[in-house]
Amino acid sequence: MRYIGWFLAVSVGLLVVVCKPEDDVYATSNELRREANAIIEAMTFEGGNVVTGTPPRAPDWMTAAPRLESFYSPLKILPERAFDIRLVVGRDDTSRVGSLVLELDYADRYLHMPIDVDPESGRATLSGVLNKVPDVGAVRASAILTLLDTEGNPGNRVYMPFNLVESIDSLDADIRTIATHSKMIGALSFPRQGPGNIIVSGGFDQTIAVWDLLDGKSLIRLFGHTGAVLTVAVTNDTTQIVSAGQDNTVRVWDTQSGTLLATNNDHTDFVQAVALSPDERLLASGSWDHTIRVRNLEGGSLVRLLEPGDRVNDVEFSPNGSLFAAGLGRLVHQGSVRVWNAVDWTELFVFENLDREVTAIAFSPDGTQLAAAYGRGLVRIWNLGDGLEIRTIDSGTGDIIDSLAFSPDPANRLVCVTYNGYFTTFDASTGEIAFSGRAERALTAVTFSPDGQVVAIGNNKGVTRILRLSDIEP
């Protein structure tokens, strides 16, 4: 369905009536919406293609669709700050994209730019500088792409509103950047307490790596998994590491020697998450086999088998160890969150009917709230005293959140990352976005240091970045 929806959206610009370039510039979204609705009502779609209908026949060159791929710019637009636009262009040999009009809300100007498209890739990259922008803080923009034929006659147009976001690749906030793995990073973990001078990562290269943040050196690399490592946890004294992943196993390692201390083979599908209780007596693992196994870390004896009835994507103990929660669901199915008393294992809350799977969960530092990421970039927060929803936050990313974390300090900050490259921080007390930026690479993991002052981000190329949040947020 999402592909059909995309096709309908692009159709806004594919089949509108030919008009003068001046009309294109000043077209409004309402005008285009009315035109699009009239056309869509006359059509039947099957598999994303128009199979019936009576829209006016357009020249073949008009059926090419310029599509905005990405737009990077500072969150707060300032004079002389550069922006970068990338386009993916659908066209045939007789068409080209001729112009882009960028309209900034609250900025009394339009920005007109010619576009030259690479004939091989169909891509175009534009760069520019805004030199007349009022100091209005966050700015929204609208782009109107106009397709021209080879003689310069205007064809279809695509009107696109979007947010301006900062490219985090150029942020001057890095403490360290480390190439930790040869493939995608599946998970990152700091100790829950302590100085936070080491970080543990698990990768799709089937290894676990331990790094010293002070000098960026590798301390040890652990081998033994036969599938991607999707989740890791480390004890506060950093002497033991727990890992799990696509080989369906949960493994416990001695950090100093690299010795494998224990292997649990009871799960029959991917193990998506592991969590240590705050006192580090218990180890919980959640799997796509619809089970959660809670064991004693020492000795490995089974304490509790939970069967929540769906794929388990994340598990967490509350900071004081009294509660245990799991995020559940399958792709494009409804998701849910379940919360248990971690002493007698009675179920306390079930938060159901979330419109898509729950991909990540996180407890607030005081344990009174639980946040869950689900759907297309949504985060919902519940009060764990009465089980009532506090708020739902739209991250604005439009993509599945891969990883979510609450700051351990009293700042009540939430961070999340998505596979389309967004890194976003929120004030969980108000739901307001404090910072939103986008990377060139897909972001796959995020975690806070024990003091909450720095955050580690992993990407799909095996690179970990350590950022100081005070250099990012206002």
C-alpha dist (Å) from residue 198 to 195, 235, 238, 406, 428: 8, 11, 8, 19, 27
CATH of the domain at 77: 2.60.40.10
188 with 152, same domain: the answer is no
Across 378-385, average pLDDT:
96
CATH of the domain at 258: 2.130.10.10
pLDDT of 414 reads: 95
Span 453-467, pLDDT tens digits? 999 999 999 999 999
Q: Could you say which of 132, 164, 196 is where a domain stops?
A: 164
Residue 199 pLDDT > 50: yes
Span 437-452, pLDDT tens digits? 888 789 999 999 999 9
Six-digit token string for 413: 């900050």
86 with 130, same domain: the answer is yes
142 with 196, same domain: the answer is no
State how beta strands 174-179 and 185-189 pair.
unpaired
pLDDT of 3 reads: 26
Cβ contacts of 319 within 8 Å, gap of 6 or more: 278, 363, 365, 366, 367, 408
C-alpha dist (Å) from residue 429 to 216, 364, 390, 395: 35, 11, 9, 15
Residue 243 pLDDT > 80: yes
Look at residue 121 and give its three-state secondary structure: coil
Look at residue 241 and give its three-state secondary structure: strand
pLDDT of 406 reads: 96
159 with 11, same domain: the answer is yes
pLDDT of 470 reads: 84
pTM beyond 0.85: no
Confidence tier at 141 by pLDDT (50, 70, 90): low
DSSP state of 421: S
Across 394-404, average pLDDT:
88
Query: Is the Cα torsion angle 342, 345, 347, 353 positive or negative in sign?
Result: positive
Contact (CB, 8 A) for 283 and 251: no
In whole numbers, what is the pLDDT of the chain averaged over residues? 77
130 with 240, same domain: the answer is no
Q: Which helix (H) or strand (E) holds 52?
A: strand 49-53
Span 57-109, pLDDT tens digits? 444 444 445 555 555 544 444 444 455 555 555 444 444 555 555 555 444 44
Residue 292 pLDDT > 50: yes
Residue 217 pLDDT > 70: yes
Give me the domain span that covers residue 208: 170-471
